Amino acid sequence: MNLEEIRHSASHVLAYAIKQLYPDVKLGIGPAIEDGFYYDFDKLNIKEEDLPKIEEAMKAIIKEDHKFQFKKITKKEAQKLFKDEPYKLELLKDLKDGEISIYESGDFIDLCKGPHVNSMKDIKAVKLLSIAGAYWKGDSKNKMLTRIYGTAFDSEKELRKYLNMLEEAEKRNHNKIGRELELFTIHNLVGKGLPIWLPRGEFIKREIEKLAVEMEDKAGYVRVTTPHLAKKELFLTSGHLPHYEDTMYPKMKMDDGEYYLKAMNCPLHHIIFGNSIKSYRDMPVRIAEYGTVYRNELSGTLSGLLRVRMLSMNDAHIYCTKEQISKEIEDVISMIKNYYKIFGLKDYYFRLSLWNPENKTKYIDEPDNWEYTENELRNVLKKLKVKFIEAKDEAAFYGPKIDIQLKNVYGREETLSTIQLDFAARTRFNLRYFDSNGNQNNDVFVIHRAPLSTHERFLAFLIENYAGKFPLWLNPLQIKILTITNGNVKYAKEIEKKLKENNFRIELDDRDETISKKIVDSHKLLPNYMIIIGDKEQKNKTLAVRDRNNKTNYGIKIDKFIKDLSKEIEEKR
């Protein structure tokens, strides 16, 4: 049985049940999505604890085994049928006769083009999951509706398997672990989508940035810092206004003009490239910045670190000639694969995002450039023999891109890294260099690349992937030292001092508590190692070292322990 049809049909059953329980509710839309379905409702005031009652009503309707009956109707008939449903009437405004269809099941009729299962008995297993707010048509100028999420499967066994996966995934939820490990906080007084990095989270951020700087230095990048805001004219020149205006914060009127918080670094990097005269010998120029940008995301779409309004980007722009494109793209892909190897990320593939020539408002209308740049990216992916698919109408407005796709612990696909090829900036910013003949050449292509995504999204992915158990080189708390008795504190402090001198990150627990209590408390902070100091260790000047598998090795000399851990950090195991 087709899961999309099952889930789309389940969304209709949800709307059917809601109308029975809350007759005054107004219907929005209810599509199937990757892992389930949702339906949006107006004038519905419910809480999470109401979901079981709604779910029971759905199951009762399913037992009645109504057919899903498809019917084409005229616009006039539809307007009469949905005269009390303002959101359906709004949808009808964009439809013509011949484009309008309904599905009828029992006493419920919905404006819909399908697909659906034949009969409600084909919906074998259904579960409502959560409630959220969602603006009508995703526009913050519209009313906030109540969205109910659910899922459906072809059998109870498949549903149980999915719910068990969700339960296990929830234990890895980056918001939960982030709170427990005190990595970040999002405070109401600051605002949604604006994470504050706490000391431990800031340490991880610095270590990842340090890795990026080291790798980019070796690859010939130069580092810059650009302002957090810039004049309106800059973003008009780049084309981000009006193309991306909806995702940018409102303009600020100053005494010398209008300014915007930057939503991207590229226009400022273009200014840097043009700041001095370039020769063909200088090409390619690779400009990098771990810079912060700001996106005006809708409050209802914000989700922990995955969807935020302040983004710290592992950003860089490569300015190259036409002949250098393939090599530079290959090098960026190699860098990404190297990063993923370091972080232990394996199950990923590449998506080549192409333009849609029919979508004139979304893309620059330069067919020859689109064809050339798309072929360049396609040929590189084929040459490298990497797994990739093609996706039409997913490109940036200024050129095609390669997205690297991974699945998170919830089984949902995420874009973690991106490479974009830009053929528009050269004209907009008059990018040029002197070629080998001494002539000014504006054949400058720009590669936008963010191998580590935004720091926020990347760390959310790492937290869930590691379940908070960071590798030694990345962990803000590497070692916890625990004393068995108060008589062991002096020796424990000697060990602490020596480890700190060797730049290990340590906490000493010398409380007057039982060792079992200290071990339990230490486990919650997920250090890589626990050093347990008792009378035997103190007498023999050794350590008892407990690892994450709860295996304890006794009689370890401090110098050997330092040597082994230093190697583990150096190799980034």
- Whether residue 167 lies inside any domain: the answer is no
Cis peptide before 400 (omega within 30 of 0): no
Model pLDDT, residue 346:
87
- Give yes or no: residues 122 and 256 share one domain: no
Compute the mean pLDDT over every residue in the chain, rounded to the nearest whole number.
Answer: 93
Rounded to whole angstroms, the maximal C-alpha distance in the chain is: 92
- Give yes or no: residues 125 and 226 share one domain: no
- Give yes or no: residues 157 and 227 share one domain: no
What length does the chain have? 573
Cβ proximity of 262 and 228 under 8 Å: yes
* Of 186, 194, 264, residue with least CA distance to 226: 264
- Give yes or no: residues 139 and 37 share one domain: yes
- Give yes or no: residues 507 and 376 share one domain: no
Q: 92-101, 123-132, 143-152, 474-483: which has the minimum mean pLDDT?
A: 92-101
Model pLDDT, residue 296:
92
Cβ proximity of 403 and 350 under 8 Å: yes
When pLDDT is cut at 50, 70 and 90, the band that residue 388 belongs to is very high
- Give yes or no: residues 254 and 367 share one domain: yes
- Give yes or no: residues 419 and 541 share one domain: no
Model pLDDT, residue 519:
94
> What whole-number distance in Å separates Cα of residue 51 and Cα of residue 46?
8
- Show which of 402, 435, 466 is a domain's final residue: 466
Residue type, 505: R
When pLDDT is cut at 50, 70 and 90, the band that residue 277 belongs to is very high
Per-residue pLDDT of 256-269, as tens digits, reads 999 999 999 999 99
Per-residue pLDDT of 307-351, as tens digits, reads 999 999 889 999 999 999 999 999 999 999 999 999 999 889 999
Q: Reduce the DSSP state of residue 52 to 3 states and report it.
A: helix
- Give yes or no: residues 129 and 195 share one domain: no
- Whether residue 440 lies inside any domain: the answer is yes
- Give yes or no: residues 390 and 539 share one domain: no
The residues near 246 (Cβ < 8 Å, ≥ 6 apart) are 296
> What whole-number distance in Å separates Cα of residue 55 and Cα of residue 328?
54
* Of 221, 206, 247, 414, residue with least CA distance to 315: 221
- Whether residue 471 lies inside any domain: the answer is no
In total, how many domains does the chain have? 3
- Whether residue 382 lies inside any domain: the answer is yes
Q: Which CATH number belongs to the domain containing residue 492 in this structure?
A: 3.40.50.800
C-alpha count within 13 angstroms, C-beta hemisphere, residue 392:
4
- Give yes or no: residues 325 and 451 share one domain: yes
Model pLDDT, residue 239:
87
Rounded mean pLDDT of 371-384?
Answer: 94
- Whether residue 172 lies inside any domain: the answer is no
- Give yes or no: residues 454 and 486 share one domain: no
Rounded mean pLDDT of 117-121?
Answer: 91
- Whether residue 171 lies inside any domain: the answer is no
Q: Which CATH number belongs to the domain containing residue 406 in this structure?
A: 3.30.930.10
Per-residue pLDDT of 458-515, as tens digits, reads 999 999 999 999 999 999 999 999 999 999 999 999 999 999 999 999 999 999 999 9
> What whole-number distance in Å separates Cα of residue 530 and Cα of residue 525?
11
Cβ proximity of 126 and 59 under 8 Å: yes
Query: Quick one: tokens of 8?
Result: 């789309």
Query: Quick one: tokens of 307?
Result: 């969807």
The residues near 434 (Cβ < 8 Å, ≥ 6 apart) are 277, 278, 279, 280, 440, 441
Q: Which domain holds residue 453?
A: 178-466
- Give yes or no: residues 183 and 301 share one domain: yes
- Show which of 161, 186, 202 is a domain's final residue: 161
Model pLDDT, residue 376:
93
Cβ proximity of 240 and 267 under 8 Å: yes
